């Protein structure tokens, strides 16, 4: 890499060729304000907040979009620059419904920060908001889109396009009418939106936010008739700390459990338990499909089988590849398995009437809110999961309750559905479900541990876009003799843009995999739309390390060895893929339109 020498604010700096002025300034710890810029997304150069002056040049340059060039002399804080930035911020504020004190993003809005920094006064430009028609789309159970707060930075459009290759959101119209819109400006719940929340996670203002259920949860907690059960997803415990003032990559499982008890939840349980259960059901389903294909030569058996735990992925395939719905595992996601069991098995165990139980989940995910509201998710006879909170909403509740999170002592989950294994923890990272499934399936088939050092199946880990791994099955147990010598081929993709790459190959018949893991979000659930803001590659890598650290520290690391899972089959479910399982733990999918 060749080096470029330039001068920024009278100081010489040398950066790699191809760096932008913004990156060069960052290297020197000069903070240039940005709005449309996001590290995960391509350069836009739309908002014009990051303008800098090039000495000798009349017009200013957008530092995010301008490559550093040899000999450049840049000023990041000249009067001209300050005036221009202030003018741009003033313009943005004038088209933004700046009712900050009543806004969900109050205190976390990037435009609010900038207008405070640049002292945008009241005596300003004409307020454009009352002059325009705008819509607030609050029809979706997971995402609220409020056009009156949109500053047209297009981070959402780029997230939806580049990370997810969905394009549910696009820029529509031009000039003063230009806006971010879905197909024909339909409500988000009607269109191809997967509810993944990657847009929500990157929106600098309150234009795209999660639908929050904080007040509903507080009301339920306050109701003495109700028994509140809460489950926490694997990826929450490694990110919650970020929203409460901690560095990324800290594991806060014990503190989180303690906080949930303080908030008033009656049973603090773990989605990890049902993640282990998912592995048993899904693993057995895979083996059954393999038998159907290899032994019975049943043409109706669909392979490759794909995972089904990511609700964003499910909605995506329902819209985009309805012809492949037969390939999706029928196993419900851990959240919904948990929900179905909470109001049946668990309610019975603790002697609570299911109608008096309120089942809450804490998820790194906005799509889980939609999933919980699917009409088919009533296997218990009730709504299986009543209310879904994101990691961010839980953090907000902890703050509202005045809990000093950092000072909390670690506590343990309650029992019956609170025990989990390392295999469940890694569900939160891309490749985790695959690794957990292989740890179990290989042992079921051969009676031996997977042939990877320390059970760590490294080929499926990491941030590579599409990962492949295969395991050759040798000397299986007699029941699985037909698998002798079979090379089990797997594929892992995270982010729906990568999922599309894999599924297009499946459609064309070019993919000879047996099992595919797909997570809708970049990095898997740890990069979910409901996780603390901000997110970027570095933060996601820190969260990943925390997850594998938690796995390595667990006494039990294989789902089928989870004592509570063994117990639930003994006492209640009888056997994997059995009658009860089908009733409570499996589901079906719906073909949806393409827009």
Peptide bond just before 534 cis, omega within 30 deg: yes
Active site (annotated) includes residue 371:
yes
Q: Taking Cα atoms as reference points, which of 551, 570, 260, 220 lies closest to residue 413?
A: 260
Catalytic residue, chosen from 95, 110, 242, 285, is 285
Q: Which of 53, 242, 371, 443 is catalytic?
A: 371
- Answer whether 323's CB lies under 8 Å from 292's CB: no
The nearest distance, CB 83 to another protein, in angstroms, is 6
Catalytic residue among 376, 474, 487, 549: 376
Q: Which is nearer to another protein, 151 or 233 (CB)?
A: 151
Decide if 368 is catalytic: yes
The answer for residues whose C-beta is within 8 angstroms of residue 551's C-beta and 6 or more apart is: 422, 423, 425, 426, 557
| 365: annotated active-site residue | no
CA contacts within 13 A on the Cβ side of 554: 25
Catalytic residue (one of 142, 148, 310, 329) = 329
Token readout for 517 is: 């893991």
Tokens of residue 402, six digits: 């005045």
Write the CB contacts of 79 (distance below 8 Å, at least 6 apart in sequence): none
Question: Closer to another protein at the Cβ: 167 or 578?
Answer: 167
148 in catalytic set: no
CA pair distance 573, 551, nearest whole angstrom: 27
Between strands 487-494 and 515-519, the pairing is parallel
Pairing of β 143-146 and β 208-210: antiparallel
Q: Look up tokens 């499946």; give the residue.
A: 506
Q: Which one, 178 or 479, has the nearer CB to another protein?
A: 178
Is residue 580 part of the annotated active site? The answer reads no
| DSSP element (H, E) containing 171 | strand 170-172
| Neighbouring-strand partners of residue 492 | 467, 517
Say if residues 328 and 306 touch (Cβ distance below 8 Å): yes
Least distance to another protein, CB of residue 539, Å: 27
Task: Tell the smallest beta-carbon distance from residue 246 to another protein (Å).
Answer: 35
C-alpha dist (Å) from residue 203 to 166, 167, 198, 312: 17, 16, 9, 18
Give the contacts of 398 (CB within 8 A, at least 6 positions apart): 244, 259, 263, 405
Active-site annotation holder among 53, 282, 435, 517: 282
Write down the least CB distance from residue 504 to another protein, Å. Answer: 9
Q: Which residues bind another protein (CB under 8 A)?
A: 43-49, 51, 58-60, 62, 65-67, 80, 83-84, 87-88, 91-92, 94-95, 125-126, 128, 131, 151-152, 154, 161, 166-178, 181-184, 191-192, 593-595
Q: Which is nearer to another protein, 168 or 251 (CB)?
A: 168
**Which DSSP helix (H) or strand (E) runs through 179?**
strand 179-181
Q: Closer to another protein by CB, 55 or 295: give it.
A: 55
When the beta carbons of 167 and 292 are compared against another protein, the nearer one is 167
Query: What is the closest distance, in whole angstroms, from the C-beta atom of residue 36 to another protein in the complex?
Result: 9
For residues 327 and 393, the answer to whether their CB atoms sit within 8 Å is: no
From 309, 365, 491, 521, the catalytic residue: 309
> Does residue 285 have an active-site annotation?
yes
521 is catalytic: no
DSSP summary character for residue 473: -
Comparing CB distances to another protein, the nearer of 46 and 531 is: 46
Nearer to another protein, 128 or 533 (CB): 128
Q: Which is nearer to another protein, 109 or 546 (CB)?
A: 109
Shortest reach from residue 59's CB to another protein, in Å: 5
Q: How far, in Å, CA of 174 to CA of 135, rounded?
A: 17
Q: How far is the CB of 491 from another protein (least distance, A)?
A: 21
State the nearest-atom distance from the C-beta of 365 to another protein, in Å: 22
**Which residue has 């089928």 as its token pair?**
560
Residue ranges with strand state E in 418-500: 466-472, 487-494
CA nearest neighbour of 278 among 159, 378, 423: 423
Which tokens sit at 304? 């490759």
Q: ω into residue 304 within 30 of 0, thus cis?
A: yes
135, 358, 489 from 153: Cα distances, Å: 18, 39, 42
Angle between helices 214-222 and 391-400 (to 10 degrees): 50
Q: Is 376 a catalytic residue?
A: yes
CB of 447 to another protein, least distance (A): 46
Structure token pair of residue 286: 């895979």
Residue placing its CB nearer to another protein in the complex, 80 or 579: 80
Cβ-based neighbours of 136, under 8 Å, separated by 6 or more = 144, 145, 146, 147, 148
Smallest distance from another protein to CB 160, Å: 8
Q: Which residues are part of the catalytic machinery?
A: 282, 285, 309, 329, 368, 371, 376, 525
């Amino acid at each position: 890499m060749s080096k470029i020498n330039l001068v920024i604010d009278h100081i010489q700096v040398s950066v790699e060729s191809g760096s932008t002025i913004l990156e060069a300034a960052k290297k020197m710890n000069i903070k240039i304000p940005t709005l449309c810029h996001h590290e995960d997304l391509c350069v836009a150069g739309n908002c014009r907040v990051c303008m800098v002056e090039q000495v000798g040049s009349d017009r200013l340059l957008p530092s995010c979009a301008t490559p550093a060039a040899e000999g450049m002399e840049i000023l990041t804080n000249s009067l001209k620059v300050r005036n221009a930035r202030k003018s741009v911020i003033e313009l943005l504020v004038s088209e933004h419904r700046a009712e900050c004190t009543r806004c969900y993003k109050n205190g976390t809005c990037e435009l609010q920060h900038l207008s405070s920094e640049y002292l945008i006064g009241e005596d300003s430009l004409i307020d454009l908001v009352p002059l325009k028609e705008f819509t607030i789309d609050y029809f979706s159970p997971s995402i609220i889109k409020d056009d009156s707060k949109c500053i047209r930075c297009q981070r959402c459009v780029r997230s939806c396009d580049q990370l997810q290759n969905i394009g549910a959101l696009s820029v529509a119209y031009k000039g003063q009418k230009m806006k971010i819109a879905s197909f024909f400006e339909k409500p988000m719940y009607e269109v191809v939106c997967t509810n993944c929340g990657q847009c929500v996670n990157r929106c600098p203002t309150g234009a795209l936010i999660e639908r929050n259920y904080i007040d509903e949860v507080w009301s339920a907690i306050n109701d003495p008739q109700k028994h509140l059960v809460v489950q926490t997803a694997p990826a929450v415990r490694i990110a919650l700390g970020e929203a409460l003032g901690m560095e990324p990559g800290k594991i806060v499982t014990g503190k989180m459990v303690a906080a949930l008890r303080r908030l008033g939840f009656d049973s603090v349980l773990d989605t990890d338990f049902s993640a282990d259960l998912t592995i048993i059901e899904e693993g057995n389903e895979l083996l059954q499909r393999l038998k159907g294909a290899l032994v019975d030569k049943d043409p109706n058996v669909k392979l490759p089988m794909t995972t089904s735990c990511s609700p964003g992925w499910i909605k995506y395939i329902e819209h985009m590849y309805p012809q492949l719905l037969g390939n999706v595992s029928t196993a419900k996601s851990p959240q919904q398995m948990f929900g179905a069991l909470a109001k049946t098995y668990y309610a019975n165990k603790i002697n609570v009437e299911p109608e008096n139980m309120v089942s809450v989940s804490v998820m790194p995910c906005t799509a889980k809110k939609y999933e919980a509201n699917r009409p088919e998710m009533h296997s218990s006879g009730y709504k299986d999961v009543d209310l879904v909170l994101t990691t961010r909403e839980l953090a907000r509740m902890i703050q509202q309750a005045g809990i000093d999170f950092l000072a909390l002592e670690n506590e343990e989950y309650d029992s019956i559905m609170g025990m989990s294994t390392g295999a469940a923890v890694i569900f939160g990272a891309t490749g985790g479900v695959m690794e957990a499934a292989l740890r179990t399936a290989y042992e079921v088939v051969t009676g031996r541990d997977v042939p990877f050092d320390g059970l760590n199946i490294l080929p499926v880990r990491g941030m590579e876009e599409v990962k492949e791994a295969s395991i050759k099955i040798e000397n299986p147990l007699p029941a699985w003799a037909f698998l002798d010598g079979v090379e089990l081929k797997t594929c892992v993709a995270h982010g729906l843009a990568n999922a599309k790459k894999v599924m297009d190959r499946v459609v064309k018949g070019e993919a000879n995999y047996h099992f595919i893991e797909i997570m809708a979000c970049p990095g898997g659930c740890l990069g979910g739309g409901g996780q603390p803001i901000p997110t970027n590659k570095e933060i996601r890598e820190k969260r990943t390390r925390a997850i594998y650290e938690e796995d390595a520290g667990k006494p039990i690391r294989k789902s089928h060895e989870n004592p509570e899972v063994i117990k639930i089959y003994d006492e209640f479910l009888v056997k994997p893929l059995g009658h009860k399982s089908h009733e409570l733990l499996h589901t079906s999918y719906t073909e949806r339109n393409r827009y």
